Amino acid sequence: DQQVKQNSPSLSVQEGRISILNCDYTNSMFDYFLWYKKYPAEGPTFLISISSIKDKNEDGRFTVFLNKSAKHLSLHIVPSQPGDSAVYFCAASGGTYKYIFGTGTRLKVLA
């Protein structure tokens, strides 16, 4: 039951360029979305969130876009830096206490 999907397992981007990570969901009850970054052998680190009443949220180099009709969200990182290389997870919840995580996208920023 893949309610949250990240269809790109990996992505390589040149330093300074934009990284776009995508996430699709199937459950229309989801109304709150989070993006996390994860380094090997560490816990996920919260990056940015968006609720369904908005279609965009921005925090520094990170912007999350939400398209409710398409059940799609994306994380934009600009400019990308080598330190951004990590696995990125999107997570969604809807009126319950649990978050459903996507499978993750491994981002590699090339210097």
Residues that bind other proteins (CB under 8 A): 31-32, 34, 36, 41-46, 49, 89, 91, 93, 96-104
Taking the complex as a whole, how short is the minimal distance between the CB of residue 49 and other proteins, in angstroms? 6
| Nearer residue to other proteins within complex by CB, 13 or 100 | 100
| Nearer residue to other proteins within complex by CB, 50 or 77 | 50
Taking the complex as a whole, how short is the minimal distance between the CB of residue 11 and other proteins, in angstroms? 17
| Nearer residue to other proteins within complex by CB, 74 or 93 | 93
DSSP for the chain reads: --SEE---SEEEEETTS-EEEEEEE--TT--EEEEEEE-TTS--EEEEEEETT-SEEEETTEEEEEETTTTEEEEEESS--GGG-EEEEEEEESSSS--EE---EEEEEE-
Taking the complex as a whole, how short is the minimal distance between the CB of residue 10 and other proteins, in angstroms? 13
What is the rounded CA–CA span in Å between residue 34 and residue 48?
6
| Nearer residue to other proteins within complex by CB, 46 or 83 | 46
